[in-house]
Amino acid sequence: QKEVEQNSGPLSVPEGAIASLNCTYSDRGSQSFFWYRQYSGKSPELIMSIYSNGDKEDGRFTAQLNKASQYVSLLIRDSQPSDSATYLCAVRKIRSGNTGKLIFGQGTTLQVKP
Amino acid sequence: DAGVTQSPTHLIKTRGQHVTLRCSPISGHKSVSWYQQVLGQGPQFIFQYYEKEERGRGNFPDRFSARQFPNYSSELNVNALLLGDSALYLCASSDDLNTEAFFGQGTRLTVV
């Protein structure tokens, strides 16, 4: 079992719709959760971070965290063609004296069709 | 305010050669991490440095090494390059171990 799992997609949604991206993780010691957007040929760009259970909203983006079920999701409202990219879920766990390394899923490709 | 800068942006090397990749973190950030991303996969952790000390190492061979300088910039060195080392190498900067990490534009390494 991979530590962080995402459906590779592609997830195709029409312009203006809500895109829902999901991510599950295996280690209950995970403490911090991040969503990155990566356009083809570019580097990942941080779009959301979430640390506690519940929802966190930022503009058209909402991150949802459920530690009991070990999943994180990202909702994109009013999807635009410019949102077409690969979305990477990343998880971080900190142990005493240990590193704050990020563990990434393989990413979900989102296609927003005009 | 400058973001994370990496150099070079593209590099072509021959098998067996060595390579040095460079990274300058965001001003004020003390932690630099290195990741390798191959096509179709998420980034894989290679190293993390914080306050010039190695704080973590991923599952990479000893051919990979890194260091962080007093100004918090960092170098990643790879010796005896293999074809499989071809990838996008990403540097991430954060102000602490458990805070948000911001990536540079990456170095695209091709080994032929």
- Are B69 and B88 spatial neighbours (Cβ–Cβ below 8 Å)? no
Q: Which residues of A touch B42 (CB under 8 A)?
A: 4, 88, 90, 104-107
Question: Is A105 within 8 Å of chain B by CB?
Answer: yes
Q: String of b and e for B14-50 (b: at least 16 CB within 10 Å)? A: eeeeebebbbbbbeebbbbbbbbbeeeebbbbbbbbb
Q: Which residues of A touch B48 (CB under 8 A)?
A: 99-101
- Which residue in chain B is spatially nearest to A107 when comparing CA positions? B42
Window 80-99 of A: residues touching B by CB (8 A cutoff) are 88, 90, 92, 94, 98-99
- Are B90 and B74 spatial neighbours (Cβ–Cβ below 8 Å)? no
Average pLDDT in chain A: 94
Q: Residue B109 in 3-state DSSP?
A: strand
Q: Is the pLDDT of residue A96 over 70?
A: no
Q: Please tell me the distance from the alpha carbon of residue B53 to that of residue B66, in angstroms, as a whole number.
A: 10
Q: Please tell me the distance from the alpha carbon of residue B33 to that of residue B53, in angstroms, as a whole number.
A: 11
Look at residue A75 in the predicted model and tell me its pLDDT: 98
What separation in angstroms does the CA of B68 have from each of A23, A27, A89, B24, B107?
33, 30, 27, 10, 18
In this prediction, residue B79 has a pLDDT band, given cuts at 50, 70 and 90, of very high
Question: Is B100 within 8 Å of chain A by CB?
Answer: yes
Question: Would the CB atoms of A101 and B48 count as touching at under 8 Å?
Answer: yes
Question: Would the CB atoms of A98 and B105 count as touching at under 8 Å?
Answer: no
Look at residue A18 in the predicted model and tell me its pLDDT: 98
Question: Would the CB atoms of B100 and A101 count as touching at under 8 Å?
Answer: no
Rounded mean pLDDT, B14-43: 97
Question: Would the CB atoms of A45 and B103 count as touching at under 8 Å?
Answer: yes
In this prediction, residue A33 has a pLDDT band, given cuts at 50, 70 and 90, of very high
Look at residue A100 in the predicted model and tell me its pLDDT: 81
Give the residue, B85 or A30, on which the prediction is more confident.
B85
